[in-house]
Structure 1
Amino acid sequence: MGVVPPSPLDPTLNFRTCTQQANLSWLRKETPMETTDLLLAIVHHILVFSVAALIACESVLTRGELSAAAIKRLAGLDRHYGILAMLVIIVGAGRVFYGLKGWEFYVYNWVFWAKMISFLAVGLLSIIPTMRFLSWNRQASANANFTVPAAELSSVRFYLRAEMVGIVLILIFAAAMARGYGY
């Protein structure tokens, strides 16, 4: 005959007796390596989604006519975009070298390299918009009547859309990696 669990109405029932009788392995303490891996993953995800949000903001701001204030805002957003992209690389490297999966998982994983190539492509695609934003900001500061040339604005919109496609590819490859594909 099996052990009968105590009644929830039992006055002697408390947390200690419940944990002694139940299998609560999920309450175990994490090792420092597991905690480091978790923190790196959280920060990495927040940074990646922040980069995606900034690309979306730039895309929205470039939809219509650009005032001097909007151009200044674009330059500021793009500066933050660059800083966050560098932090993504730094934290990502931390995940490779200090994460639970170990560097071998990443080095020999073709999906990881596809994700890195996509990230590199997004970075390269961002060069033209960055140069345009800086140029427009300088020109708008020097000339109150400056208007963004339509061809340049159209070009920037194209590059921003291409960056968004690259971000989607990065997310697809990240989901595949998380499920063990490519190793």
Structure 2
Amino acid sequence: MAAYNRSRCRQKLLLLLLLCAISAPWTFLSPAHGSSKASSFQASRAHAATALMMAPMLVSTPASAAAEGDIGGAVVAYGHYLGLILATACLIAERLTIRAGMNKEEEDRMRVFDAVYGLAALLILITGYLRVTEYGKGWEFYQHEPIFWLKLTLAAVSGAASFFVTATIIKRSAAQAEVKDQVFIPMSEKLANRMTSVINAQILAIGAIPLTATLMSRGVLYADWLPWQAGAVPPVLALVGLGFRYVKEAVEWTDDDK
């Protein structure tokens, strides 16, 4: 780090000398209408003063470079992206695995994918909170950004939909454990189709999140007048309302429903 700072200082000194060299010839050129040596000397002093005024700006560059190289912010951002990629991978794996009449090994894999998805969602939640409050643009920006709340709504929809899948997996595992003769009960086609449609909705919701993130970071539709309470209503309703609905549907599910 010290060697890097010395190198940067040398670069700044060379740039300062270059600025002085660029300005120097103009101090010795004769004016078009003939001026005195005093005016030439005054011009030389003016250029020197300008160069000296620019020197503190050059010297302060390492501090800004250090601020831009925020390791904590980089780690949090990496964790956020990793969680999003991992959650998407788990959803795709679930979508490719689920089918009517799955064997026990396939349902065990579904259980693993769902557990990893839950961990990825937790990672996204923690790192997202840190990015909003500590390492991103700051809460003062995000609370007035409608697309930020749209992003949270999409995340809430994906999370609420996952309640149906998780509740169904838990319900089937508990029912299977109660079977004394250990006969595996395969999943019905109706339930497999319903879980497939729910996972498809999750994939669509989580797939739209990167688009909202890019628009949000650029301040698209930013509104100073928007209170955070109004922005928070859609994601809260999506998470609570849809979450309750999906859990209730999973708990009360029967294959003979019309």
Greater Cα radius of gyration, structure 1 or 2: 2
Unaligned runs of 5+ in 1: 1-14
- 2: CA distance, partners of 1:99 / 1:88: 14
Give the 3-state SS of the residue equivalent to 1:145 in structure 2.
coil
How far is the alpha carbon of 1:114 from its aligned partner?
A: 0.2
The structure whose residues are more often helix, as a share, is: 2
Q: Tell me the equivalent position of 2:191.
A: 152
Is 1:106–2:142 an aligned residue pair? yes
Deviations, residues 94-116 of structure 1 (Å, cap 9, x unaligned): 11111141111111110000000
Q: Tell me the equivalent position of 2:206.
A: 167
- 1: CA distance, partners of 2:176 / 2:210: 36
TM-score (norm 1): 0.80
Specify whether residues 148 and 175 from structure 1 end up closer, same or farther in structure 2 by C-alpha distance, changes over 3 A only.
same
Is 1:81–2:117 an aligned residue pair? yes
1:9-158 paired onto structure 2 within 5 Å:
16=7, 20=11, 21=14, 29-31=65-67, 34-63=70-99, 65-141=101-177, 142=179, 143-158=182-197
Give the 3-state SS of the residue equivalent to 1:30 in structure 2.
helix
Question: How many pairs does the alignment contain?
Answer: 169
What percentage of aligned pairs have identical amino acids?
22
Q: Which has the higher contact order (CA 8 A, sep 6+)?
A: 1
Report if aligned partners of 2:146, 2:221 keep a CA contact under 8 Å in 1: yes
Give the 3-state SS of the residue equivalent to 1:60 in structure 2.
helix
How far is the alpha carbon of 1:87 from its aligned partner?
A: 1.8
- 1: CA distance, partners of 2:160 / 2:97: 21
Deviations, residues 146-165 of structure 1 (Å, cap 9, x unaligned): 11011111000000000011
Unaligned runs of 5+ in 2: 1-5, 17-60, 223-258
Give the 3-state SS of the residue equivalent to 1:31 in structure 2.
helix
Specify whether residues 32 and 98 from structure 1 end up closer, same or farther in structure 2 by C-alpha distance, changes over 3 A only.
farther
Give the 3-state SS of the residue equivalent to 1:126 in structure 2.
helix
Report if aligned partners of 1:129, 1:156 keep a CA contact under 8 Å in 2: yes
